[in-house]
Amino acid sequence: MKSINEIKLNQLTKNRTYFASPDSWEDQVLYFLMTDRFSDGKEKKENLFNRAQDFENAMNNPKRKEKWFFHSDKWNGGTLKGIKSKLNYLKELGITAIWISPVFKQVAFEPTYHGYGIQNFLEIDPNFGSREDLQELTREAHKNGMYILLDIILNHAGNVFAYTDTDRIYQNICYPVKGFRNHKGEAVLPTENIDFSTIGPDDGVYPTELMHHDTFTRKGRIINWDNYPEYIEGDFLLLKNINLGQGDYTNFQPSEALRILCQCYKYWIACADIDGFRLDTVKHLEPGATRFFVNEIHEFAYTLGKNNFYILGEITGGLNFAVDTLKKTGLDAALGINQISDKLEETAKGYADPTEFFKLFKNSELLGEDEYRWYKDNIVTMFDDHDMVSQQAIKSRFCGDTNTGKLLLNALFLNLMTPGIPCIYYGSEQCFDGSGNIDNMVREAMFACNFGAFRSQGKHFFDTDHFVYRELKKIIALRKNNITLTQGRIFVRELSNDGKRFYIPAKNNEERFQGVIAWSRVFSSDEIVLLINCSIETAQTVYVTIDAHLNSTTDVFEIIYSSDENDLLAACSVYKHDKRKSIKVTVPQHGSIALRRRTA
């Protein structure tokens, strides 16, 4: 489609039943994948990666090494059909909602495989597949009880026009535009009074109603990323910033471009039965623009029976800024890709004081009356992603740190067993270890291609027998089967090594904390006790406090999950120490444990 006038929402939605939203998004487990890097659907014809034989097989001669790096920022061949072919892999793991990187049509002259350089907001990029492929993916996902969230962009299009000078930086003035780019990237197309009969599908920007220079702010690329209004009005590198309107969020006047984009995204909900959006770069939107969009989408989705259509906002700029944005805009949740992701990873690795992570959650004993309380369905938590925005010089997945890579399961356990909607970045379940000075290095392919994980080529990584995949499957199932782990309040627990002196674990002046961290989730009269061991080499035995009012000395706790399966169902008696009650438990090296009071 080329024009917004081709969209007939009433006809598209007439007499159609849509997949209902979940009652509670905090009960879901999300999985974020990059479409180009996930699956080509041909894994049955490909060989599974064998670490002993294939690790860094692309580094063994100069030509293969050059080819591997060359393809790191090129299209590699992942498709929507490929994602559909791996629904069983994700369902078996326990994933209930899939967040997919943008799949809309990209500029033809640049390899924007990541999907953030949109040229046509009404079409699927042919590298990813077709509109019908997206529809079929959502149908199959829904049949399997899974939801689909699309990554979308409001504030910019791709590199669709050129300034009269090649490098324009933000100066709070509108620069003259040389022309819209054609399919070759040449800026030879007019920016107004266009004869669309002479314009091809790969030329300019679509829908056609956007193909006018006034659609864009035209103020050059952002240099000072924290200066207002520069980060609102400037171009995001080569991507061209769209003028979305003017005014305070309480009295915002949307531009025609924003109204058009709202229609485009309503179309994708109606056409493909999408269940939610992840809204890109919310920091670079006026709160009023975000609020207008969120209201439009929520109301439209509600008319389709999607009463809890979820819109997650990528909100960088610190915790306070993110919470304030959430309040002003009506976004359903913020992605915890800033302070929360850092603290989660650093806590699991022992590089941060454990208390700093748990302070982020409501009902933590350590939080006090701080008003900024993120919990339940207000935040999506994750520790790896495609941008690693808090990492400046070197981008690195969790396992890129070889010294602490064995603690990956602890990080996943911590993510899934604390409040919020947990999200897993693709490849984490296979211990991907990408690291480098550019984003591409943490976007390895899961399927057999030229840019595979572990510096390899020609092998796929969908290994359901991988230790981390199998253990993560158990952890997700534990969470799913216990409402206490999805809805429960969270409390940091004191520990003791001798049953006499109790303490809250703290890093102190150590280079790396190597003790045990413990917390409880409490829901009604149920308490589940959770522990991780930050020591890589040594199992540790500790007394961990439990709720003194819910539990008695005649109770027995049993292990309902352990990274050492020999521990399962082992019994732990309740001890009394003055006003405290505790249980004594041994936590495996670089391992995790969950315990629950045994019922009759």
Q: What is the pLDDT of residue 189?
A: 97
Q: What is the pLDDT of residue 326?
A: 86
The structure tokens listed for 539 are 């199992």
Residue 356: pLDDT band (50, 70, 90) is confident
Residue 177 has pLDDT above 50, yes or no: yes
Residue 318 has pLDDT above 80, yes or no: no
Query: Residues 98-107: pLDDT tens digits?
Result: 999 999 999 9
- Strands, E assignment, 88-155: 97-100, 104-106, 118-124, 147-152
Query: Residues 190-200: pLDDT tens digits?
Result: 999 999 999 99
Distance separating alpha carbons of residues 164 and 169, to the nearest angstrom: 12
Structural element, H or E, at residue 527: strand 526-533
Phi-psi region of 420 (alpha: psi -120 to 50; beta: other; left: phi over 0): left
Average pLDDT of the residues of the chain: 93
Query: Residues 125-174: pLDDT tens digits?
Result: 999 999 999 999 999 999 999 999 999 999 999 999 999 987 899 999 99
Among 184, 198, 302, 284, smallest CA distance to 241 is for 284
Burial level of 407, CB count in 10 A (0-12/13-18/19+)? buried
Among 131, 132, 137, 42, smallest CA distance to 98 is for 137
Residue 373 has pLDDT above 50, yes or no: no
Contact 172, 196 (CB under 8 A): no
Kindly list the structural domains of the chain, giving each domain's residue range(s) and its CATH number in brackets, ordered by start.
Answer: 4-150+244-480 (3.20.20.80), 156-239 (no CATH), 485-597 (2.60.40.1180)
Among 493, 594, 497, smallest CA distance to 540 is for 497
Q: What is the mean pLDDT of residues 110-117?
A: 96
- Strands, E assignment, 307-364: 310-313, 333-336
Q: What is the pLDDT of residue 363?
A: 46
Distance separating alpha carbons of residues 310 and 151, to the nearest angstrom: 12
Distance separating alpha carbons of residues 396 and 411, to the nearest angstrom: 15
Q: What is the pLDDT of residue 372?
A: 38
Query: Residues 380-397: pLDDT tens digits?
Result: 999 999 988 778 789 999
Residue 369: pLDDT band (50, 70, 90) is very low
First to last CA, the chain: 63
Burial level of 434, CB count in 10 A (0-12/13-18/19+)? buried
Angle at 162 between CA 150 and CA 35, to 5 degrees: 20
Q: What is the mean pLDDT of residues 560-569?
A: 89
Neighbours of 104 (CB within 10 A): 25
Cis (ω within 30 of 0) for the bond into 207?
yes
Q: What is the pLDDT of residue 367?
A: 42
Q: What is the pLDDT of residue 375?
A: 59
> What's this model's pTM, rounded to 2 decimal places?
0.95
Rg (CA), the chain: 25
Among 491, 557, 568, smallest CA distance to 523 is for 491
- Strands, E assignment, 95-215: 97-100, 104-106, 118-124, 147-152, 156-157, 161-163, 177-180
Contact 334, 313 (CB under 8 A): yes
- Strands, E assignment, 89-242: 97-100, 104-106, 118-124, 147-152, 156-157, 161-163, 177-180, 240-241
Residue 439: pLDDT band (50, 70, 90) is very high
Residue 71 has pLDDT above 70, yes or no: yes
Distance separating alpha carbons of residues 89 and 44, to the nearest angstrom: 13
Rounded percentage of the chain residues whose pLDDT exceeds 90: 86
Q: What is the largest CA-CA distance in the chain?
A: 85
Query: Residues 236-283: pLDDT tens digits?
Result: 999 999 999 999 988 999 999 999 999 999 999 999 999 999 999 898
Q: If you search the block for the tokens 């030329």, which residue do you land on?
A: 203
